[in-house]
Amino acid sequence: MPFAVGSQVGPYEIVAPIGEGGMGAVWKARDTRLNRIVAIKQLKEAHSARFEQEARAIAALNHPHICQIHDIGPDYLVLEYVEGKPLAGPLSAEQALPLALQIAGALEAAHKRGILHRDLKPANVMVTENGAKLLDFGLAKVGEDDPDATRTVEGTVMGTAAYMSPEQARGRPLDARSDIFSFGTLLYEALSGKRAFTGDSMLETLNAVVSSEPPPLDSPLDSVVKKCLAKDASERFQSVAELKAALANPPTKTEKLQASIAVLPFANMSGDKDQEYFSDGLAEEILNLLAKIPGLKVIARTSSFAFRGREQDIRKIAQSLSVNTILEGSVRKAGSRIRVTAQLIDANDGSHLWSERYDRQLIDVFEVQDEIAAAIAGSLRLKLRTEGRKHTPAAPAYEEFLKARHYLRNWSPESASKARECLGRALTLDPGFALAHTELCRVFVIMATENSMRPEEAAKLMRESAQVALGIDASLPDAHWLLAMAAVLDYDWERAGQEFRSALSQEPVSADIRIYYSFFYLAPLGRMKEAQEQMERALIDDPLNFVARADLGAYLFLEGRLRESEAVQNQAVELAPGFFIPYFHLAYLQVLQGRLTEARASAEQCFANAPWHPGTAGLLAGILSLLGEGAAARKLMNRLGDGSTLGSPWGFVSYHAVRSECDQAAVWHERLIQQRDTRAPFIAVSAFGDRLTSSPRWPALRRMMNLPA
């Protein structure tokens, strides 16, 4: 029976109607027991399961900007009574920003509990004297056991058409990025007073969501809204934490938007693919020069170079990277001569802000780099630091250096060995080339991490190369973080912390430094909140960095955010299908959830991408043994021999951890520690860390690595 004013519903007296919604009528009521005003949502019978779901969703949350649930009855919910008005625009950026941050904070709290809202819209945000309140979790998706459906019956889409994400409109599986799209529609409407997507019918509105772009906003928050509204979920903010970071320090109404740039890989016009190292190296060197310009946001190399070979509109690339200018160019190298063309493009309209062609001798390549950086600074009305080059390497040494960097982009023992040869030649030609000494340190990091060099030898060589580099140029931050990695190999955490802090103290801080600081220092010491913050900061500067994304997915797993963790690992796979680490994490996650068939597929791809890595063989062998394929598992484990080979204990740790054989995993982990493996300290906070820490051997293993209790 419908409620009526004056009627009694359990201990609640109905006072007045508030409104009618698709999920049920809402009434103002008085709690006669506690003498307080509440809101009661009356249940429509067809939505009983949804109301129970809403109750679970809201009850799981405790946040100042989320409406609280007080009670539940057989056909009603009792909610916090919120006095205010629904969010409405147009609002200035200054008015909208505090509300946007409050809504984002509420959304982040929900996502951390595995809850997607799925119906974000202005009507579900109440503006009160104390700020915004997020209402109505009637369509929320809660926890790992809830169905992933977005439809009630065939052809009926759940949600409000104008505020859905494209994937929600298509009835596809959703993750946190769907709520981020809906947040964008909500913020667009708050700023403009108009809906981002409209149509004369639900079908037309859904079509607009899927295929149309709303008019740009005359607001400093336009770039944030645009990124939220990217049709492809991989081009949006990948978490609410990223979204909040973008909202945290926006320009005011009177400020000019921060100048920002992405440097795309320069096209190799030499007709020889082997010359790609030179065109890539030239673009990267220009990027590094631009990063030193105060006031200019420069996207890191990994993200900028992710668009190599893609025929995409410059404006779409700029939108996905949140920049307002793009530098592209080409290089033709023939003997001792080079031709470089470069053009700076305004991402708003695709127009050329500046372009130039340089025909020079190879020895003049550094002048070309400096001239391009100076021209860009002038075009953007910024000032290039004129500190000058401390050292101009000989041209042949520089070419070997660029070849080494090219090899080091492919993380493997083989590529590290080739890079070492190149750097050896570079330093023979020019012993005073400081950057070549630091790149040599990177070689030793890879060789130690991937078990092609004994860690104690690698640490010694890293210290020697880094000290030589600092003796030539004491301002090199890379030398300090590489010294920190040498200390990590010695399990000397105090020294590692000092060196990392030295590296972090010099602006600009590269994404690489933040990634290593997070994964190899903060995480092993159990400082997971700081580790996650550093990884998220790295992704702000380098949003398409697949290494940082895979590591962030591992951290989300440790928080129990399994669905988000899996989504982030899949993003890393999309960014770099040939990279083995995300498949490694996915396989363990799937094993722990009992999804052995999927785990096998992930492990097989992991092994195919890195057959040289002992851990990939152990991982796959363990999963095969769980599936009853003992012969295939033994064949893989035979590759590891008796475990005495450098790095091979990794394979046995992986094998036994997959099989929940905690003590055996701990025995092999001790051998891993004795080899000073760089990943040994991280295992305690990995997906299978509990299978080591639950062993009686763990306290002794922890002390061997000098880790805190």
The predicted-structure confidence for 61-90, as pLDDT tens digits, reads as follows 778 888 888 888 877 888 889 888 999 989
The two three-digit tokens of residue 391, written as one number? 């050292």
475 domain residue, yes or no = no
Residue 180: predicted pLDDT: 96
Which string of b and e fits 325-337 if b means at least 16 CB within 10 Å? bbbbbbbbbeeee
Helix axes 546-558, 562-575, angle to 10 degrees: 170
Looking up tokens 């600081």, which residue turns up?
517
The predicted-structure confidence for 677-704, as pLDDT tens digits, reads as follows 877 888 777 777 788 888 889 899 989 9
pLDDT at 393 over 80: yes
Residue 150: predicted pLDDT: 34
- Span 287-308, average pLDDT: 83
- Span 598-623, average pLDDT: 93
Cα angle 6, 76, 59; round to 5: 130
Residues 150 and 35 in one domain: no
Residues 111 and 198 in one domain: yes
Q: Report percent pLDDT > 90 for the chain.
A: 28
Cα(133)–Cα(151) distance, integer angstroms: 27
The predicted-structure confidence for 149-203, as pLDDT tens digits, reads as follows 333 222 334 568 899 999 888 777 888 999 999 999 999 999 999 999 988 777 7
**Using an 8 Å Cβ cutoff, are 107 and 134 in contact?**
yes
The two three-digit tokens of residue 148, written as one number? 């992933």
Residues 224 and 118 in one domain: yes
pLDDT at 379 over 90: no
Burial zone of 690 (CB within 10 Å; 0-12 exposed, 13-18 middle, 19+ buried): middle
**Using an 8 Å Cβ cutoff, are 217 and 193 in contact?**
no
Strand 76-80 relative to strand 85-86: parallel, antiparallel, unpaired? unpaired
Q: Report percent pLDDT > 70 for the chain.
A: 91
What's 175's DSSP letter? -
Looking up tokens 């951390």, which residue turns up?
112
The predicted-structure confidence for 324-340, as pLDDT tens digits, reads as follows 889 888 888 877 788 88
Q: Say how many C-beta atoms besides its own lie within 10 A of residue 75's C-beta.
A: 16
Residue 191: predicted pLDDT: 94
- Span 98-108, average pLDDT: 92
Q: Say how many C-beta atoms besides its own lie within 10 A of residue 114's C-beta.
A: 20
Sign of the torsion formed by the C-alpha atoms of 571, 573, 575 and 581: positive
Residue 155: predicted pLDDT: 31
- Residue 617 CA from chain centroid, whole number: 27
The two three-digit tokens of residue 151, written as one number? 């439809």
Q: How many domains does the chain have?
A: 4
Q: 472: helix, coil or strand?
A: helix
38 domain residue, yes or no = yes
Cα(564)–Cα(547) distance, integer angstroms: 16
Q: Which domain holds residue 349?
A: 259-384
Residue 68: predicted pLDDT: 84
Residues 225 and 315 in one domain: no
Residue 119 annotated in active site: yes
The predicted-structure confidence for 406-440, as pLDDT tens digits, reads as follows 888 888 888 999 999 999 999 999 998 888 998 89
| Count of alpha carbons within 13 angstroms of residue 254, beta-carbon side | 0
Cα(217)–Cα(471) distance, integer angstroms: 52
Cα(53)–Cα(69) distance, integer angstroms: 12
User: CA torsion, points 343, 346, 350, 351, in degrees to nearest 10?
Assistant: -70
Helix axes 176-192, 240-248, angle to 10 degrees: 30
Residue 595: predicted pLDDT: 93
Residue 29: predicted pLDDT: 92
Residue 251: predicted pLDDT: 55
Q: Say how many C-beta atoms besides its own lie within 10 A of residue 13's C-beta.
A: 14
Strands of 12-21's sheet, edge to edge?
8-9, 12-21, 24-31, 36-42, 76-80, 69-73
378 domain residue, yes or no = yes
Q: Residue 1 — very low, low, confident or very high, per pLDDT cuts 50/70/90?
A: low
The predicted-structure confidence for 239-295, as pLDDT tens digits, reads as follows 998 898 888 766 554 445 578 888 888 888 877 777 788 888 888 888 888 888 888
Q: Say how many C-beta atoms besides its own lie within 10 A of residue 204's C-beta.
A: 14
**Using an 8 Å Cβ cutoff, are 609 and 578 in contact?**
yes
102 domain residue, yes or no = yes
- Span 341-348, average pLDDT: 85
Residue 255: predicted pLDDT: 47
Q: What is the DSSP code string of 320-384?
A: HHT-SEEEEEEEEEETTEEEEEEEEEETTT--EEEEEEEEEEGGGHHHHHHHHHHHHHHHTT---
517 domain residue, yes or no = no
Residues 176 and 145 in one domain: yes
**40, 65, 80: which is the final residue of a domain?**
80
What backbone torsions phi and psi does residue 263 show, to the nearest 5 degrees? -100, 110
- Span 597-620, average pLDDT: 93
57 domain residue, yes or no = yes
Cα(565)–Cα(559) distance, integer angstroms: 9
- Span 524-551, average pLDDT: 88
The two three-digit tokens of residue 437, written as one number? 């000494």
Cα angle 86, 233, 53; round to 5: 50
Q: 11: helix, coil or strand?
A: coil
- Span 203-216, average pLDDT: 83
Give the 3-state DSSP-derived string for 540-607, with helices as H, strands as E and coil as C: HHCCCCHHHHHHHHHHHHHCCCHHHHHHHHHHHHHHCCCCCHHHHHHHHHHHHCCCHHHHHHHHHHHH
Residues 244 and 96 in one domain: yes
Q: 114: helix, coil or strand?
A: coil
210 domain residue, yes or no = yes
Residues 654 and 683 in one domain: yes
**384, 408, 441: which is the final residue of a domain?**
384
Give the 3-state DSSP-derived string for 412-437, with helices as H, strands as E and coil as C: CHHHHHHHHHHHHHHHHHCCCCHHHH
Q: 28: helix, coil or strand?
A: strand
Residues 162 and 50 in one domain: no
- Span 114-136, average pLDDT: 87
Residues 93 and 238 in one domain: yes
Cα(420)–Cα(402) distance, integer angstroms: 12
What's 157's DSSP letter? B
The two three-digit tokens of residue 254, written as one number? 């009177």
Looking up tokens 């990634």, which residue turns up?
515
Residues 309 and 287 in one domain: yes
**CATH code, domain carrying 112:** 1.10.510.10
Residues 67 and 33 in one domain: yes
Q: What is the mean pLDDT of the chain?
A: 84
1 domain residue, yes or no = no
Tell which residue, 643, 707, 640, 658, has the closest CA to residue 680: 707
**248, 274, 307: which is the final residue of a domain?**
248
* Catalytic residue chosen out of the listed positions 31, 75, 119, 430: 119
**CATH code, domain carrying 268:** 3.40.50.10610
Residue 199: predicted pLDDT: 83
Residues 226 and 91 in one domain: yes
